[in-house]
Structure 1
Amino acid sequence: MVAATGVTALVVPLSVALSAGSASAASCTTSTGPYQKQVEKFLGLRVDGRQSAADCTAIRAFQTKHLIKPNIGYAGPVTWGVMSLMLKQKPVLAAKNPNAAGKCPTNKGRIACVDLTLQISWIQDGRTLKYGPVPVRTGRNGAETRTGAKKIYLRKLNHWSTIYKVWMPYTQFFDGGIAFHQVDKSMYAPPGSGGCVNMRKADAQKYWSMLKKGDDVYVYGRKPGT
Structure 2
Amino acid sequence: MGDIRRRGAVVLGITGLVAPLTLALGSAPAQAATSCTTQKGPYQKQVEKFLGRPVDGKQSAADCKAIKAFQTKHGITPNIGYAGSVTWGVMDLMNKQKAVGNKPNAAGKCPTNKGRIACVNLTLQISWIQDGSRLVYGPVPVRTGRNGYETRTGLKKIYWRDIDHVSNIYNVPMPYSQFFDGGQAFHSVGLSMWNPPGSHGCVNMTKTTAKKYWSLLKNGDDVFVYGRKPGT
The superposition leaves residues 14-57 of structure 1 with CA deviations (integer Å, 9 ceiling, x where unpaired) of 7x11xx3xx3x321111110101110111011111111100100
**Residue number in structure 2 paired with 1:133:** 139
Q: Is the 8 A contact 2:22 2:78 kept in 1?
A: no
**Residue number in structure 1 paired with 2:54:** 46
What is the aligned length? 218
What is the distance in 1 between the residues matched to 2:223 and 2:179? 10
Point out the structure with the larger helix share. Answer: 1
Q: Is the 8 A contact 1:3 1:161 kept in 2?
A: no
Quick one: which amino acid aligns to residue 57 of structure 1?
A: K
1:86 and 2:94 correspond: yes
**Residue number in structure 2 paired with 1:213:** 219
Q: Is the 8 A contact 1:135 1:187 kept in 2?
A: yes
**Residue number in structure 2 paired with 1:156:** 162
What is the distance in 2 between the residues matched to 1:135 and 1:210? 17
1:56 and 2:70 correspond: no
The superposition leaves residues 164-206 of structure 1 with CA deviations (integer Å, 9 ceiling, x where unpaired) of 1100000000001100000011000000000000001110000
Paired residue for 1:183, among 186, 189, 197?
A: 189
1:37 and 2:45 correspond: yes
Quick one: which amino acid aligns to residue 95 of structure 2?
A: L
Quick one: which amino acid aligns to residue 195 of structure 1?
A: G
What is the distance in 2 between the residues matched to 1:80 and 1:64? 14
**Residue number in structure 1 paired with 2:10:** none
Unaligned runs of 5+ in 1: none
Identity among equivalent positions (%) equals 72
**Residue number in structure 2 paired with 1:10:** 24
1:120 and 2:134 correspond: no
How far has the Cα of 1:88 moved from its partner?
Answer: 0.5
Q: Is the 8 A contact 2:16 2:144 kept in 1?
A: no
Structure 1 outlier segments of 4+, above 2 Å:
10-14
How far has the Cα of 1:8 moved from its partner?
Answer: 4.2
What is the distance in 2 between the residues matched to 1:190 and 1:73? 16
How far has the Cα of 1:12 moved from its partner?
Answer: 4.3
| 1:49 aligned counterpart, secondary structure | coil
How far has the Cα of 1:136 moved from its partner?
Answer: 0.3
**Residue number in structure 2 paired with 1:75:** 83
Unaligned runs of 5+ in 2: 1-13
What is the distance in 1 between the residues matched to 2:45 and 2:195? 22
1:224 and 2:230 correspond: yes
Paired residue for 1:198, among 186, 199, 204?
A: 204
Quick one: which amino acid aligns to residue 170 of structure 1?
A: Y
What is the distance in 2 between the residues matched to 1:155 and 1:12? 40
Quick one: which amino acid aligns to residue 212 of structure 1?
A: K
What is the distance in 2 between the residues matched to 1:77 and 1:28? 17
Q: Is the 8 A contact 1:7 1:192 kept in 2?
A: no
Q: Is the 8 A contact 1:7 1:189 kept in 2?
A: no
TM-score, structure 1 length as denominator? 0.94
